[in-house]
Amino acid sequence: MILSDSSIRSLIESGELSIDPLYDDTIRENGVDMRIGPEIAFPIVTGEVIDPIRDNPAKHFSVREIPDEGIIIPGNTSVLLVTEEYVRMPKDVAALCGLRSSIARWGFVAPPTLIDAGFEGQLTIEVMWTRPAPVKLYKGIRFLHVVFFRVEGEVERPYSGSYQGQRGVTLPKKLESSAQRNKV
């Protein structure tokens, strides 16, 4: 079941859920809105084949600070944005992120992103600008809507993966194939 604004406030007041900073307009009817943080990662396009199993992800992204006057994103470009907010999730609550409809109507899209129970950190979200003309983005724009829900049953292993505690734009990790994994 999706949590209401009053349920979200109760979680925050009890200290189970933390969102920092928390603005007056952050908590919405059935979720929270989050803002574009200070960094952005642009893809580095070289024309060579990208190998997500072997390549260092830093070879394929350029992380930059977003200046106060904004930053221009070229047409038809996918970028990584980080939220201004740092979140700490309860062990029995997860969340689903999607773009706010106002930013989506301009021509931005983003794949749905899950925040696992027990996750802590700033969120790094892939956002695609779908129009051919360049666009300017500014830090502080409310761009992401996060809907929280209770996880049914006890989570035996709350999130503790490699993205735990992340700050700033966090690049993807290398992928692994089933041939690389130890079978259980």
In the chain the domains, ranked by start, together with CATH numbers, are 5-46+59-150 (2.70.40.10)
The catalytic residues are: 126
Residue 35 identity (one-letter amino acid): R
d(CA 68, CA 30): 31
* pLDDT tens digit sequence for 77-133: 999 999 999 999 999 999 999 999 999 999 999 999 999 999 999 999 999 999 999
d(CA 153, CA 83): 29
Residue 47 identity (one-letter amino acid): G
Return the closest-CA partner of residue 145 out of 178, 121, 113, 177: 113
Q: Give the pLDDT mean for 19-23.
A: 97
d(CA 162, CA 67): 28
The pTM is what? 0.89
Largest CA-CA distance found in the chain, in angstroms, rounded: 52
Q: Rounded mean pLDDT of the chain?
A: 93
